[in-house]
Chains A and B, each alone.
Chain A
């Protein structure tokens, strides 16, 4: 049985939709900036859902007024890592929130092999599940 045809990674917002166009990304960033959230750009080649901390591309983008500046950063990141996952986060520093308010993918590899599900029988016939991306079988930098 295959539940995710095409093995598209579904993490963060909008991930069940077709990929966002640059115009849509600009609008989303504009929304984050209007709320005074700090935006940053991150990339990774290990898409495991529990891989929370991706690598930040460049410096965090504080004190910006205009989404075009962040799109410039995204495009620079796409040029450097064309075959990795890239996401945009928006961090809300308001007391009580102090967390990411937005997170969405803006770039994905051309071919996404998906995840392997492994089952392990342990004490009392209990089953433990383990998932890992097929891509991560290969060393870093050779994955996609």
Chain B
């Protein structure tokens, strides 16, 4: 046996050095629910730390492919997590700059022959060193029109995803079932994506916690009665159409702020900071959600087609 000490690496030290733990902790605190998503992010962070440790010991391996797909209903935090992901990858030294370039079909696909390739390449160049987030990626592929330029964009995307794996990470996002159809019709794309992460819908309790967090960030707070009303509101809203998870909650809070401002203006006398911060039960109670949400959804049900991203 050799008397030389086997070289070792301190994984925890590497993790500390990468300064990634604060981001992961922040993710745990600021993102409510989403347990499977957080689990996956922790795993990816661990993988990158181990890859780095292996490199210090001379165990070269090809850099792991980190292209991802985020599937989930609207408002489940796909964009937010993508932003955090860019930060984490940057801290772990995987992405050189760690910026997020968020695009949709319009940014990638051109309008006439020869327009698509330069347009797609330009976006890809802009995203290099960071993360390219393609929202509603399934719109890139339009099977009903075989001359659609989306296919060209997908081909360029594939080429860059394969050849420039060190330079950028591509995240495709969209509704679960439509993404599945999209991947079925583009097997080349599906096989190049290592991480399929599904974002579950929030439960009523989680939504309530989210609403509290949102208010704190906006420097507002519920009073005791309002918390109960908010819970009731969420339960009503969940049963209604076009519910967009956290986005619906944010919209509800924005309208509550509107009503609160109106209420404060009608109040006589001077107002203290506490009154300016407090959202009362009546601000929420005035919502049409409590009346069955009829006035708006009567229109919406007639419109067929893709589900609206948000509506409340």
Give the B-binding residues of A (Cβ under 8 A). 58-59, 61, 63-66, 68-70, 72-73
User: In the docked arrangement, what's the CA distance between A64 and B118, Å?
Assistant: 15
User: In the docked arrangement, what's the CA distance between A64 and B124, Å?
Assistant: 10
User: In the docked arrangement, what's the CA distance between A114 and B94, Å?
Assistant: 45
A77 to chain B, nearest CB (A): 13
Once A65-B97, A66-B97, A66-B167 are accepted as A-B contacts, the answer to whether A58 and B118 lie under 8 Å apart by CB is yes
Whether A68 pairs with B129 at a CB distance below 8 angstroms is yes
Per the CB 8 Å criterion, the residue count for chain B at the interface is 14
Q: Pick the contact of A65 from B99, B118, B164, B166 — CB < 8 Å?
A: B99
Dominant secondary structure of chain B at its interface with chain A: loop
Whether B118 pairs with A68 at a CB distance below 8 angstroms is no
Whether A65 pairs with B130 at a CB distance below 8 angstroms is yes
B180 to chain A, nearest CB (A): 32
Name the B residues within 8 Å of A69 (CB-CB).
Answer: 124-126, 128-129, 167
Is B122 interfacial (CB-CB < 8 Å)?
A: yes
Name the A residues within 8 Å of B128 (CB-CB).
Answer: 64-66, 68-69, 72
Residue of A nearest to B95 (CB): A66
Is B178 interfacial (CB-CB < 8 Å)?
A: no
Is B176 interfacial (CB-CB < 8 Å)?
A: no
B97 to chain A, nearest CB (A): 4
Residue of A nearest to B167 (CB): A68
Name the A residues within 8 Å of B124 (CB-CB).
Answer: 69
Whether B129 pairs with A59 at a CB distance below 8 angstroms is no
A61 to chain B, nearest CB (A): 7
Whether A66 pairs with B96 at a CB distance below 8 angstroms is yes
Name the A residues within 8 Å of B97 (CB-CB).
Answer: 65-66
Name the B residues within 8 Å of A72 (CB-CB).
Answer: 125, 128, 164
User: In the docked arrangement, what's the CA distance between A127 and B258, Å?
Assistant: 84
A37 to chain B, nearest CB (A): 16
